[in-house]
Structure 1
């Protein structure tokens, strides 16, 4: 069972992701509401996969991705954001993100992307 860390500043989105992931056989081992906590939790929990929102307070998803990739170059991080984030998406992919999901997400394509990791 793949272990997942969910990172999103919106509690309802974290809940929706958790429910969807658990329903499809993933174990959610942690949740973070900003990039600073995401990096801290990644180091502590060592998840198999991270779902990372781009726009968050304190430290955004791209900054957190950069820190996680410095710590673990094999990290599997999938970025998530609403439309209109093209420059940030490109930056995230260059930093090592393994995929991108547009919110609001549809369950089937989301699980397909996560399962490939």
Structure 2
């Protein structure tokens, strides 16, 4: 889409201002990081960093997508399942609907309880 832009390496974020390796800056509403197939995020702050092995579901992510303590952070494609591209599409639609206010998320506490039930069943 016209509103998307590929930019040089991101070197800093201050509020909505992003600074890039070439010294340029842009005001942004969102940052989309395309990391490939490795579940390794050394560029994320530890409090926002998902640490998981490739598994059927990821510890702490609500519905496998939403970071409970910062519900504006979405991890798409972290589960190790067959038919992954269909799953990626469904997760992207789910994240879109949360962003657009079509889906209301439960409290962080409720998300944690749901995660604990999955962990107990594993």
Per the normalisation by structure 2, the TM-score is 0.29
Higher strand content, 1 or 2: 1
Higher helix content, 1 or 2: 1
Structure of larger gyration radius: 2
Per the normalisation by structure 1, the TM-score is 0.30
